[in-house]
Every structure is written in structure tokens, then in C-alpha cells.
Amino acid sequence: MKMIRCLLVLFVVIWKAQAYAESWGAPQFFYLLAKADTIGIGIDGGSAGAGKSRINNAVFWLGDPGTNHVVLSLRTVGWDIPWDPTNAVGDRVFFWGVRQGWNKDSTNFTFRAMPYSAWELREKLIQAGSAKQTPTPSFEFSGNFIYLTTNSPAMVSFLSNAVHSLCVEPNLIQYSQSLIPPLNVDWENELFMFKADAHMETLKLGWGEDEAFLVHVLDSPQYPRRFRGSALFQLQKRFGWSETNTVPEL
């Protein structure tokens, strides 16, 4: 009976978080970012025709076919993405997506947890092999974009940290810490669009990652207390920690 209650609670949390994310602008941002072989930032140069927007001074992260990582490539050239008429020429644009895709070996896609995190998906893509072909700006792009309508250091820092820790130099601790800024913001904050997705991704990391990671979250004051409590719950249920353990007061 206790297991059934836990499963019901888990289902409700997943359902509410996904619905919440879809309502506020950036559903599954981290999951989509994990699959990207091209990521970049540039300036909206106006319509390029055929439903496209010209992006000037674009700086790209391009997929490395040898590792499935994304490596920084300073290609300050123009590029086209799907056009959004609600945004102004001169706005900064962050874009990411797939040009060539990844070679997938299904035998490598056994996940530690369900639902699995974007971190684990990226890990599986790296393990599976290489990108099909080196992505270059000349190929058609299938992906997503976010307009940065203000020159916000917070938004640029958040996106840069997520890209770097998930795709450029993957690091689990740094990636989990990159999720923290949106977790406690209210609806007036520009990072609010990532709040539900970051919340869900943080929970998924707790469900799937190892004991050392959970101990890090439990003992680190930068994580909101509810996630430290969730880490303790996982340590008790998955790694046999005593029920008498509590979240340290920091």
C-alpha cells in the first residue's frame, strides 16, 4: 500500500510539472538541449523570407562527431532560423537544435530511472557514438529558439552555464547547480519560463543518479531545502540510509 501511494504521488508530481512547463513557455528545455548538435546565440537581423529570420553575428557551438559533445566554435556569420514576427529586429536570440542527428545504438539506451533526466539522455548519446556528420551552418535547421528581449546577464549566464555543463564539458555537479537559478523565482522573473522544467529535471537527477551525487545535494546549502529533503528520501529508499537521518541545518 505504501508503494502504491508513493507511485501515485510520483505520477501527480510528473503530470503537474509537465503541464506547468507547457503553460509557461519552455517545456522540456533541458531535454531538447541534451539532443542538440548545434547551439548558438546571435542578433535578429529581420526577416530573411520564406518564414525565416536572419540571425547576424551568430556564435555557434557545433557538434563534435567524435564524441557527441558540443564544442565552442566562434563562427561570427549570419544564419537563418524560423521567423517570429512578435520579436524585434536587434533582439538577441539563443537557438539550439539538430542538424544531422546522432547515431543511436539501442543497446546503450537502458536508463537508470524513468522518467530519465536530460543529463542521462546526453550521457547515452555520448556513449552511443558520433554525430552522423559534422554540423555546419549550411544545412537546414530543425530546432528551437528563445528571444532575449532584454540585455540580461542573468538569462545569458543561465543559458551559458546549462550549455557548458551539459554539452560542452559535461559535469554532473555543475549541471545540477546550473538548474538552481530558476527554482525559486516568481512569475515576474525572466527565468520563470524555465522554473517547472528545472524543477522536474532536478527531481529526475535525484531519482537516477548515484549515492555520491545525492550526498552532495543533501549537504549543499545552495539547493532549496525541498530538494535536499528529496535527496535524503532517495538515500533512505535506494541506499539503505536510516530513517532517523535528517536534512542538515546549514
The domain locations on the chain are 21-209
Site of grid cell 537544435: 97
Chain centroid to CA 211:
22
- Give the separation between CA 208 and CA 181, rounded to whole angstroms: 22
Cell numbers for 81: 532560423
* Mean predicted lDDT score pLDDT of the chain: 77
pLDDT digits (tens, 9 = 90+) for 61-112: 766 655 656 665 544 445 566 666 666 778 888 888 877 667 666 666 788 9
DSSP of 142-160, one letter per residue? EEEEEEE-S--HHHHHHHH
Site of grid cell 553575428: 57
How far apart are the two ends of the chain, measured CA to CA in Å? 35
pLDDT digits (tens, 9 = 90+) for 13-47: 444 444 444 444 456 899 999 988 888 888 887 77
- Give the separation between CA 231 and CA 216, rounded to whole angstroms: 9
